[in-house]
Amino acid sequence: MIGRLNHVAIAVPDLDAAVAVYRDTLGARVHDPQDQPEHGVTVVFIDLPNTKIELVHPLGAASPVAAFLARNPAGGIHHICYEVADIAAARDRLVAAGARVLGGGEPKIGAHGKPVLFLHPKDFNGCLVELEQV
């Protein structure tokens, strides 16, 4: 069901510093920051030849990433995103298998303007999983 790895997301306490590391130290192509108020984050995408990195930084007081950074002050891998062809079919299959879909199970529009869902990390080996319909 899942397809390509769309991105690996890294929560960062200092977005400008993280951008500098990827742009200047690692020599990657770094995009401009995008505010995602519905998700409580500011994101910066970085292109790699075979996938993307998504730097995520809290936006607003209720950001889910703020709690993650409170537990991981230096930052860390926050989620991985797999591509699916049909997000509603993927959700229905996962729910039938007993997996927990976060946020009530209705897809939201993600950073690429496409529908996304998040899956509970306890059902996926401790890793928060994002599904993006492509």
Rounded distance between C-alpha atoms, residue 22 and residue 10, angstroms? 12
Residues numbered 26-55 forming contacts with Co ion, rule: CB under 5 A = 54
* Measured distance between the N- and C-terminal CA atoms of the chain, rounded to whole angstroms: 13
The structure tokens listed for 35 are 């505010």
Contact letters (x/-) for Co ion, 83-112, by CB under 5 A? ------------------------------
Q: Of 4 and 24, which has the nearer Cβ to Co ion?
A: 4
Confirm whether 38 is a catalytic residue: no
Binder of Co ion out of 55, 81, 87, 90 (CB under 5 A): 81
Instruction: Look up residue 91 and give its amino acid.
Output: R
Q: Are 128 and 119 in contact (CB under 8 A)?
A: yes
Q: Of 79 and 94, which has the nearer Cβ to Co ion?
A: 79
Instruction: Enumerate the active-site residues.
Output: 130
